[in-house]
């Protein structure tokens, strides 16, 4: 598609042909510039990085938006993403201290403020349509609740999220928040979002936008903590680090990939999957074979129960040397429920240059990891973080610091913690009676037309965009 400004991409979601938007090029950060960022606090670092991607927001406004988002009040500390050193060369990067206790808040809280700012400026409104397997939904709703000019329509697989995750979302009573529970799995929800977003007329008429991890602004905001963590565990340029990332939709690790492309000295990006191991299969064998809905397993790390990784397309775009036609060709078969195999191609030879390696864990291994980390370091981790730690410790290189991304707090997955260590994690203040609060949601079958009708009814003719 013809190039667009940052704000147009922000509001538009998918490209007109259903593909994902990418920046025309990545900013390159020289070693000297990188070193000059070393002592910056989180908001200043965020400004340096985000301003490289946001071409149409005045610098002063961007600074204000960042300052309002990345506060100790919202994220529990001035550091925003503190590092905990478990032992020499093994670190935990805490990304889960935002309002919904999962890493998605870091990008989403910024997105909420950004949307409100842009919509007010354009005298416009936006109906956010999203799909969630757990954490995206609550994170989006907490970021958008009460925001002017914004409604949220969030699809989730009925009965498939943890009780805590469900309660977090469904207990919200804000008038601009609509929870839609779909009979099916996450991928059914995601397919509905794609179908609705591909209906250009409907999308235009009802001002439909996205906050899924395909939203470029979210990727951009996630790049920041890779830099922050790098500075926290190194003392000078030339030192390299590796990251391990519990992965589902490939959004978090893709942000790490972008950080690496920008010049951050990252050795390995270690991708961890749970029993839904589509991505692990690809990085081990070259075969990308998204699974069918009925093959998607419900696991103890539900935010990673994904069989079709939406951001993966962005990585393949880079792998092909930014050859959009080739990506389109590969996705032709994926979109028809098929697969592609790169093992015998020129691309597979290139893949090592990108530093991504992968592994997987099962439930028993995650439980053992939670128990071991608690015993050795007196630290409780959740099931997703356990996946990353398990795979990271297996695949890491000696003498390279490993930073494991903590993607949720253990309190969100109390059953598994109980199983691992024999007690339930303490809840932060204000979360005590969450599951007992009244819940508000719609129940629907996996039918895009029904979802469209619901949106049309809520938005109503008087709220459609004028002119």
Ligand X SMILES: *Cc1c(COP(=O)(O)O)cnc(C)c1O
| Interface positions with ligand X (CB under 6 A) | 102, 104, 135, 213, 246-252, 303-304, 384, 407-408
Smallest gap from Cβ 71 to ligand X, in A, equals 22
The b/e string for 371-399 (b: 16+ C-beta within 10 A; e otherwise) is: bebbeeeeebbbbbbbbbbbbbbebbeee
Q: Between 153 and 250, whose beta carbon lies closer to ligand X?
A: 250
Q: For residues 70 and 312, which CB has a smaller minimum distance to ligand X in the complex?
A: 312
Q: Counting beta carbons within 10 angstroms of the beta carbon of residue 84, is it exposed (0 to 12), middle (13 to 18) or buried (19 or more)?
A: middle
Report in angstroms the alpha-carbon separations of 70 from 79, 80, 111.
9, 7, 12
Largest CA distance in the chain: 63
| Residue 380 main-chain phi, psi, to 5 deg | -95, 130
- Angle between helix axes 363-377 and 383-395 (nearest 10 degrees) is 80
Select 127 or 407, whichever has its Cβ closest to ligand X: 407
Pair 105, 143: CB distance under 8 Å: yes
Minimum distance of ligand X from residue 255's CB (angstroms)? 8
CB atoms within 10 A of CB 156: 26
CA distance 185 to 324: 30
CA distance 115 to 237: 36
- Minimum distance between the CB of residue 399 and ligand X, rounded to whole angstroms? 27
Name the residue among 453, 439, 454 with its Cα closest to residue 158: 439
Quick check: 158 and 181 in contact, CB under 8 A?
Answer: yes
Whichever of 47 and 225 has its CB closer to ligand X, that residue is: 225
**Smallest gap, in angstroms, from Cβ of residue 35 to ligand X?**
29
List the structure tokens of 281. 């299969």
Closest approach of ligand X to the CB of residue 253, in Å = 6
Give burial (CB, 10 Å; 0-12/13-18/19+) of 96: buried
Secondary element (H or E) of residue 389: helix 383-395
Location of structure tokens 């209906």: 199
Please, are residues 171 and 177 in contact by the beta-carbon 8 Å criterion? no
Angle at 319 between CA 313 and CA 321, to 5 degrees: 110
In the complex with ligand X, the residue whose CB is nearer, 116 or 141, is: 141
CA 66/CA 49 separation, integer angstroms: 11
* Minimum gap (Å) between residue 145 Cβ and ligand X: 19
Instruction: Indicate the residue among 82 and 248 with the shorter CB distance to ligand X.
Output: 248
Which H or E run includes 44? helix 42-50
Token pair for 83? 């590092």
Closer by beta carbon to ligand X, 244 or else 407: 407
Q: Which of 104, 194, 228, 452 is catalytic?
A: 104
* Residue 162 near residue 302 (C-beta atoms within 8 A): yes
Min dist CB 409 to ligand X, Å, is 9
Q: Which residue, 257 or 384, is less far from ligand X as judged by CB? A: 384
Q: Quick check: is 412 catalytic?
A: no
The distance of closest approach from Cβ of residue 208 to ligand X in the complex, given in angstroms and rounded to an integer, is 21
Alpha-carbon span 395 to 142, nearest angstrom:
36
Q: Are 191 and 202 in contact (CB under 8 A)?
A: no
**Of the two residues 81 and 213, which places its CB atom closer to ligand X in the complex?**
213
CB of 452 to ligand X, least distance (A): 26
DSSP, res 21: -
Q: State the catalytic residues.
A: 104
């Amino acid at each position: 598609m013809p190039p667009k400004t940052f704000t147009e991409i922000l509001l538009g979601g998918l490209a007109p042909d259903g593909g994902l938007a990418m920046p025309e090029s990545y900013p390159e950060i020289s070693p000297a510039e990188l070193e000059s960022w070393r002592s910056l606090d989180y908001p200043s670092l965020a400004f340096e990085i985000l301003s490289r991607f946001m071409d149409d927001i005045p610098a002063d406004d961007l600074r204000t938006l960042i300052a309002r988002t990345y506060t100790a009040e919202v994220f529990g500390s001035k550091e925003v993403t503190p590092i905990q050193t478990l032992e020499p060369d093994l670190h935990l990067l805490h990304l889960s201290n935002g309002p919904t206790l999962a890493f998605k808040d870091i990008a989403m809280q910024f997105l909420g403020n950004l949307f409100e700012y842009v919509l007010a400026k354009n005298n416009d409104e936006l109906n956010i349509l999203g799909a969630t397997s757990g954490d995206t939904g609550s994170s989006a709703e907490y970021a958008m609740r009460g925001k002017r000019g914004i409604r949220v329509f969030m699809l989730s697989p009925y009965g498939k999220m943890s009780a805590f995750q469900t309660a977090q979302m469904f207990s919200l009573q804000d008038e601009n928040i609509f929870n839609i529970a779909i009979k099916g799995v996450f991928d059914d929800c995601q397919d509905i979002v794609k179908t609705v977003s591909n209906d250009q007329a409907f999308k235009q008429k009802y001002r439909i936008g996205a906050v899924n991890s395909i939203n470029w602004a979210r990727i951009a905001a996630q790049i920041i903590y890779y830099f922050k963590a790098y500075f926290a565990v190194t003392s000078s340029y030339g030192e390299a680090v590796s990251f391990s990332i519990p992965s589902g939709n490939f959004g978090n690790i893709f942000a790490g990939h972008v950080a690496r492309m920008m010049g951050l000295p990252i050795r390995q990006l270690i991708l961890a999957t749970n029993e839904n191991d589509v991505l692990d299969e690809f990085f081990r064998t070259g075969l990308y074979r998204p699974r069918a809905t009925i093959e998607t397993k419900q696991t103890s790390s539900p935010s990673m129960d994904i069989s079709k990784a939406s951001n993966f397309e962005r990585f393949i775009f880079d792998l092909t040397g930014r050859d959009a036609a080739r990506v389109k060709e590969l996705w032709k078969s994926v979109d028809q429920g098929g697969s592609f195999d790169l093992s015998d191609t020129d691309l597979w030879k290139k893949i090592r240059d990108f530093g991504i390696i992968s592994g997987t864990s099962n439930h028993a291994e995650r439980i053992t990891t939670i128990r071991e980390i608690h015993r050795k370091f007196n630290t409780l981790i959740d099931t997703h973080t356990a996946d990353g730690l398990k795979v990271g410790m297996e695949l890491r290189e000696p003498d390279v610091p490993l930073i494991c991304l903590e993607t949720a707090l253990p309190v969100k997955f109390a059953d598994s913690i109980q199983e691992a260590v024999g007690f339930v994690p303490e809840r932060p203040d204000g979360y005590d009676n969450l599951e007992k609060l009244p819940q508000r949601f719609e129940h629907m079958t996996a039918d895009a037309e029904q979802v469209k009708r619901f949106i049309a009814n809520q938005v109503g003719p008087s709220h459609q965009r004028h002119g």
